[in-house]
Chains A and B, each alone.
Chain A
Amino acid sequence: MAAEFWVIVEHWKGRVSQITYEALALGREVADQLGASLHAVLLGHNAHELASTLGKADCVIYANHPLFSEVVAETYAEALVQLLKERKTRSIIFPLTNVSLGAATLLGARLRLPVVNFCTDIQFAEGKIQAHCILYGGKIESRVAAEGEPTIFGLWPGARPADKGFSERRPPVEEFAVSLSEPAIHLKKYMEPAAGDVDITQQEVLVAVGRGIQSQENLHLAENLAKQFHGAVCASRPVIDQGWLPLSRQVGKSGATVKPKLYLALGISGAPEHTEGMKAAALIVAVNTDSGAPIFNIAHYGIVGDVLKVLPALTKAIESRKGVGSHA
Chain B
Amino acid sequence: MNILVVLRMVPDVVEELEIAPDGKSLNLEFARMVLSESDDHALEQALLIKERDGGTVTALALEAPEVDEVLFAALAKGADRALKITGPKEGVTTREAAHIIAGVISSEPGLKGADLVLTGTQAINDLDGLMAPLLAQELGLPFLGIVTGLVPNFSARVALATKEYPRGVRGEFEVALPATFGIQAAEKPPRYVPVAKVRAVMKSRKIDCVSLTETVEPGFSLLQVLEMTKPQPSGHAEILEGSADQTAGALCTILAERGLL
Interface residues of A (CB under 8 A from B): 12, 18-19, 22, 70, 73-74, 97-99, 101-102, 104-106, 108-110, 112-118, 130, 133, 135-148, 157-162, 183-193, 197-199, 202, 204-205, 228-230, 261-262, 283-286, 291, 296-306, 309-310, 313-314, 316-318, 321-322
Q: Which residue of chain A has its CB nearest to the CB of B177?
A: A184
Shortest beta-carbon contacts, A-B, top 3: A158-B259, A193-B168, A302-B237
Segment of B38-46, B112-120, B132-140, B209-217 in the binding face? B132-140
A136 contacts B173, CB within 8 Å? no
* Stretch of B103-111, B122-130, B196-204 at the chain-chain interface: B122-130
B238 within 8 A of A: yes
Residues from chain B with a CB closer than 8 A to the CB of A158 are 257-260
User: A301, B173: Cβ atoms under 8 Å?
Assistant: no
Of the candidates B169, B172, B228, the one whose C-beta lies within 8 Å of that of A193 is B169
| Contact status B223-A145, CB under 8 Å | yes
Other-chain contact of A296, B19, B171, B239, B259 (Cβ < 8 Å)? B239
| Contact indicator B173/A187 (Cβ below 8 Å) | yes
18 A-B pairs with C-beta separation under 8 A: A12-B165, A18-B259, A99-B166, A106-B136, A118-B127, A136-B125, A137-B124, A140-B230, A145-B226, A160-B259, A185-B144, A185-B173, A187-B172, A202-B164, A304-B239, A305-B247, A313-B245, A318-B261
Query: Given that A136-B125, A305-B244, A310-B244 are contacting pairs, would A105 and B222 also be in contact in the complex, using a CB cutoff of 8 Å?
Result: no
Instruction: Give CA–CA (A228, B260) in the complex, Å.
Output: 10
Cβ B130 vs Cβ A184 within 8 A? no
Instruction: Let me know if B170 and A191 touch, CB within 8 A.
Output: yes
Interface centre among B219, B225, B226 (most CB of A within 10 A): B226
**Are A303 and B121 neighbours in the complex by a CB distance under 8 Å?**
no
B156 at the interface (CB under 8 A from A): no
Q: Is A138's CB under 8 angstroms from B231's CB?
A: yes
The reply to whether A184 and B248 form a contact with Cβ atoms under 8 Å apart is no
User: Whose C-beta in chain A lies nearest to the C-beta of B178?
Assistant: A184
B226–A143 touching, CB < 8 Å:
yes
Q: In the bound complex, what is the Cα–Cα distance between A227 and B208 (angstroms)?
A: 52
Whether A303 contacts B182 by the Cβ 8 Å rule is no
Task: Indicate if B145 sits at the interface (CB-CB under 8 A).
Answer: yes
CB contact between A102 and one of B130, B230, B254 (< 8 Å): that residue: B130
Q: Once bound together, how far apart are the Cα atoms of A110 and B230, in whole Å?
A: 33
Judge whether A130 and B171 touch: CB under 8 Å: no
Known: A12-B165, A143-B226, A144-B127. A74 touches B143 (CB 8 A): yes
Q: Evaluate whether A297 and B127 lie within 8 angstroms (CB atoms) in the complex, with A130-B226, A313-B244, A314-B251 already known.
A: no
Q: Which of A183, A184, A309 contacts B244 (CB 8 A)?
A: A309
Contacts of A262 in B (CB 8 A): 255, 258, 260
Known: A105-B133, A146-B224. A73 touches B143 (CB 8 A): yes
Is B256 in the interface zone, CB < 8 Å from A?
Answer: yes
Question: Whose C-beta in chain A lies nearest to the C-beta of B219?
Answer: A147
B142 partner residues in chain A, CB cutoff 8 A: 74, 183-185
Given contacts A190-B165, A202-B164, A283-B258, contact A302 B239 (CB under 8 A): yes
Chief secondary structure at chain A's binding surface: mixed
CA distance in complex: A305, B125 (Å)? 39
Q: Most B CB atoms within 10 A — which of A73, A183, A189, A228?
A: A73
Residues of A within 8 A of B127 (CB): 116-118, 133, 135, 142, 144
Which among A18, A148, A184, A283 has the greatest number of chain B C-beta atoms within 10 A? A184
Q: Which residues of A contact B239 (CB under 8 A)?
A: 291, 296, 301-304
Report whether B259 and A157 are in contact in the complex, using a CB–CB cutoff of 8 Å.
Answer: yes
Contact status B173-A116, CB under 8 Å: no
Q: Which residues of B contact A19 (CB under 8 A)?
A: 259
- CB atoms of B130 and A117 under 8 A apart: yes
Check B255 against A190 for contact (C-beta < 8 Å). Answer: no
Q: Please give me the residue from chain B that is nearest to A319 by CB atom.
A: B252
The chain A residue with its CB closest to the CB of B174 is: A186
Q: Are B228 and A140 touching (Cβ within 8 A)? A: yes
Which residues of the partner chain A approach B132 to less than 8 Å between Cβ atoms? 102
Complex Cα gap A54–B126 (Å): 30
Other A-B contacts than A115-B128, A157-B259, A161-B259, 7 sampled, CB-CB below 8 A, are A98-B165, A110-B137, A118-B127, A138-B231, A159-B259, A262-B258, A301-B237
CB distance from B228 to the nearest CB of A (A): 5
A102, A188, A285: the one contacting B172 at CB < 8 Å is: A188
**B259–A22 contact, CB under 8 A?**
yes
B249 interfacial contact with A, CB 8 Å:
yes
- Judged by a CB distance under 8 angstroms, whether B195 is at the interface is no
Q: Say yes or no for B175: interface residue by CB 8 A criterion.
A: yes
- Contacts A109-B138, A142-B225, A198-B168; A102 near B143 (Cβ below 8 A): yes
- The answer to whether A136 and B165 touch (CB under 8 A), given A313-B248, A317-B249, is no
- B167: CB under 8 A from chain A? yes
- Closest chain-B Cβ to A87's Cβ sits at a distance in Å of 21
Q: Which residues of A contact B125 (CB under 8 A)?
A: 135-136
Which residues of B from 55 to 80 have beta carbons under 8 Å from A? Answer: none
Does B236 touch A at the CB level, under 8 Å? yes
User: Within 8 Å CB of B226, what residues of A?
Assistant: 130, 143-145
Does A118 lie within 8 Å of B143, measured CB to CB? no
